[in-house]
């Protein structure tokens, strides 16, 4: 599958007349809890030829492609990505941490990640992750939930907790986030990861006891604490400089 993805990225570059600067996995396979039927979620950052930036005709800043049973692939143009980074958008923060990278250069990857540190707002990111968790919690029917949805609660809540308590970009992968849990809950989540690894994503499980209590208490705690955090407005100067430097290369 990895070779199929790399070949697809080469085809996209040729057909779209672009240069892909970074491409990585950005779904359950990168988050650390894939199921046997999980697809591959590939996200990439690209630039166009210099002349494409010197025209009054606007070019697409987002590329999406038909999703099949295995592969979901899309990408953002560098300028769009940088605009979102200056707004402390969580998605590029996650992509750049992916443990599965299909295409990049060491310098671009590291320079982008360094830039992200200047544009992190704990409040913005906490609200993003709380929103994801809340949406998944709405799927809870009684005490039961699809195991896929459960992890759409657990990882975002842990990421939100990281934001409000540590004040830094949270890890993308769930395993470093598990360090925020007490030992008994950590073992429960490890067991659930093992279960998800051998179950279809539609598998339904009960959510009760200390796990349910932790979810409810952590959601309330993060919601309340995030309200007291500062909403930061960032200067775009560093992102602009990075954009020009990269285009000129």
The Cα–Cα gap between 133 and 193 comes to 17
- pLDDT score of 141: 73
- pLDDT score of 156: 98
Assess contact for 19 and 13: CB atoms under 8 A: yes
Q: For residues 126-147, give the mean pLDDT.
A: 90
SS3 state at 61: coil
Burial 196-207 (b: 16+ CB within 10 A, else e): beebebeeebeb
Mean pLDDT of the chain: 94
Percentage, residues of the chain above pLDDT 70: 100
pLDDT at 13 over 80: yes
- pLDDT score of 18: 97
Assess contact for 213 and 147: CB atoms under 8 A: no
159 vs 4, 98, 222, CA distance in Å? 31, 15, 10
pLDDT by residue (tens digit) across 39-50? Answer: 999 999 999 999
Other Cβ atoms less than 10 A from the Cβ of 54: the count is 7
Architecture of domain 2-119+234-248: 2-Layer Sandwich (3.30)
- pLDDT score of 106: 83
Percentage, residues of the chain above pLDDT 90: 83
Query: Which of the pair, 203 or 115, is modelled with greater confidence?
Result: 115
**Which has the closest alpha carbon to 207: 198, 218, 216?**
216
On whether the pTM is more than 0.85, the answer is yes
Q: For residues 138-153, give the mean pLDDT.
A: 87
Taking the domains of the chain in order of start, what are their residue ranges? 2-119+234-248, 122-227
Confidence tier at 176 by pLDDT (50, 70, 90): very high
The Cα–Cα gap between 206 and 215 comes to 13
pLDDT at 142 over 80: no
Q: For residues 121-139, give the mean pLDDT.
A: 95
Confidence tier at 189 by pLDDT (50, 70, 90): very high
pLDDT by residue (tens digit) across 49-86? Answer: 999 998 889 889 999 999 887 899 999 999 999 999 99
The Cα–Cα gap between 12 and 40 comes to 17
| Backbone phi, psi, residue 240, to 5° | -60, -45
Strand partners, 73: 42
pLDDT at 201 over 80: no
Confidence tier at 105 by pLDDT (50, 70, 90): confident
């Amino acid at each position: 599958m990895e070779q199929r993805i790399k070949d697809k990225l080469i085809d996209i570059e040729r057909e779209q007349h672009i240069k892909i600067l970074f491409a990585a996995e950005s779904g359950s396979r990168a988050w650390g809890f894939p199921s046997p039927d999980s697809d591959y979620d590939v996200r990439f950052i690209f630039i166009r030829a210099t002349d494409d930036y010197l025209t009054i005709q606007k070019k697409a800043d987002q590329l999406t492609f038909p999703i099949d049973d295995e592969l979901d692939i899309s990408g953002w143009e560098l300028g769009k990505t940088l605009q979102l980074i200056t707004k402390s958008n969580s998605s590029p923060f996650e992509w750049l941490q992916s443990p599965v990278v299909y295409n990049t250069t060491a310098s671009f990857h590291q320079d982008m990640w360094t830039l992200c540190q200047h544009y992190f707002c704990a409040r913005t990111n906490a609200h993003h992750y709380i929103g994801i968790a809340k949406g998944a919690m709405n799927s809870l029917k009684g005490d039961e939930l699809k195991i896929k949805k459960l992890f759409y609660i657990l990882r975002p809540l842990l990421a939100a907790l990281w934001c409000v308590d540590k004040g830094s970009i949270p890890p993308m992968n769930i395993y470093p986030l598990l360090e925020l849990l007490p030992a008994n809950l950590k073992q429960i989540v490890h067991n659930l990861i093992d279960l998800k690894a051998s179950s279809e994503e539609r598998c339904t499980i009960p959510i009760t006891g200390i796990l349910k209590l932790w979810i409810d208490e952590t959601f309330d705690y993060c919601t309340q604490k995030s309200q007291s955090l500062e909403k930061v407005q960032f200067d775009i100067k560093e992102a602009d400089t990075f954009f020009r430097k990269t285009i000129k290369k």
